[in-house]
């Protein structure tokens, strides 16, 4: 059974809440499937490469359940990926390996709470070892007369959706004929708090990073010299 314009009731209310949590505004969470909920469903389907028909069927609901997981409800996580929630019920969540082999992130991509992130300068945030190593790298660069200027760092799921809307999904041809540049929402390393974008418009900064970033566990890719990820 799918939900669409004209549907109403508890199931629609749950759908609206999940859309809202995932970063797609359905309007009022009132249990009434109207035009704004339809638009939010279509936007979510488009961002997740699902059939864009405005109908919340099995695949759309499964994707929403995955992307609207709220990590703040988790108390602990076992090695099998089963977490106990505040209500005492078991929830199976994927375990994401990050920053180093033995560091686990008990949060879904793009759903790391603010109090679990570390400020790495100018309001930018990172997570765990990646944050500590970036700060070490930033300070070392300063001692060498190089000021690393961040343009992006941690991205919430909603922020990833916004970037995907503006830049398109990586490798997918856009209406203007250009290929998209953004990772699929929920898969970006920015959402794990271990990637930063650095202003490399001046050769001095880029050369310093090429010669020193690996000492702190950071690597880049040729097509995006501004993008640096902590690999440990």
Q: Which CATH architecture does the domain made up of 10-67 adopt?
A: Orthogonal Bundle (1.10)
Q: Which has the higher per-residue pLDDT, 88 or 151?
A: 151
Distance CA 113, CA 121 (A): 18
Structure tokens at 216: 């702190």
Distance CA 193, CA 148 (A): 17
- DSSP 3-state helix, strand, coil percentages of the chain (rounded to 5)? 35, 20, 40
pLDDT tens for residues 157-210?
999 988 988 888 887 887 788 888 888 888 999 999 999 999 999 999 999 999
pLDDT computed for residue 184 by the predictor: 87
Task: Say how many C-beta atoms besides its own lie within 10 A of residue 177's C-beta.
Answer: 6
pLDDT computed for residue 211 by the predictor: 98
Distance CA 170, CA 180 (A): 4
Going 165 to 167 to 171 to 175, the CA torsion angle's sign is positive
Structure tokens at 121: 């300068």
Give every CB contact of residue 191 below 8 A, 6+ residues apart in sequence: 109, 110, 111, 112, 154, 155, 156, 157, 160
- Given a cut of 60, whether residue 112 has pLDDT beyond it is yes
Indicate if 114-230 has the same CATH topology as 10-67: no
The domain defined by 114-230 folds into Muramoyl-pentapeptide Carboxypeptidase; domain 2 (3.30.1380)
Mean pLDDT of the chain: 83
Instruction: Using CA atoms of 160, 161, 167, 171 in order, give the dihedral in degrees to the nearest 10.
Output: 90
Q: What percent of the chain has pLDDT over 70?
A: 83
132 contacts 118 by C-beta, under 8 angstroms: yes
The closest alpha carbon to 53, from 126, 109, 3, 113, belongs to 3
Distance CA 28, CA 183 (A): 29
pLDDT tens for residues 56-105?
999 999 888 765 544 333 333 333 333 333 333 333 333 443 444 346 78
Structure tokens at 135: 């700060």
The closest alpha carbon to 181, from 167, 202, 198, belongs to 167
The closest alpha carbon to 219, from 130, 124, 118, 102, belongs to 130
SS3 221: strand
- Domain-wise residue ranges, the chain: 10-67, 71-98, 114-230
- Given a cut of 90, whether residue 9 has pLDDT beyond it is yes
């Amino acid at each position: 059974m799918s939900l669409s314009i004209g549907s109403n009731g508890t199931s629609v209310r749950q759908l609206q809440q999940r859309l809202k949590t995932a970063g797609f505004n359905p309007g009022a969470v009132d249990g009434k499937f109207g035009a704004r909920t339809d638009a939010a469903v279509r936007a979510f389907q488009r961002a997740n490469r699902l059939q864009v028909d405005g109908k919340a069927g099995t695949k759309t609901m499964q994707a929403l359940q995955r992307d609207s997981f709220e990590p703040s409800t988790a108390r602990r996580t076992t090695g099998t990926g089963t977490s106990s929630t505040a209500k005492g019920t078991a929830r199976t969540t994927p375990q994401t390996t990050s920053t180093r082999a033995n560091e686990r992130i008990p949060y879904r991509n793009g759903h790391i709470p603010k109090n679990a992130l570390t400020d790495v300068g100018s309001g930018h945030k990172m997570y765990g070892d990646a944050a500590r190593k970036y700060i070490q790298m930033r300070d070392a660069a300063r001692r060498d007369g190089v000021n690393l200027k961040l343009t992006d760092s941690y991205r919430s799921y909603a922020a990833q959706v916004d970037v995907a809307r503006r830049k398109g999904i990586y490798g997918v041809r856009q209406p203007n004929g250009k290929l998209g540049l953004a990772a699929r929402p929920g898969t970006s390393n920015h959402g794990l708090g271990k990637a930063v974008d650095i202003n490399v418009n001046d050769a001095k900064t880029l050369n310093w990073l090429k010669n020193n970033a690996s000492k702190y566990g950071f690597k880049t890719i040729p097509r995006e010299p501004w993008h640096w990820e902590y690999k440990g």
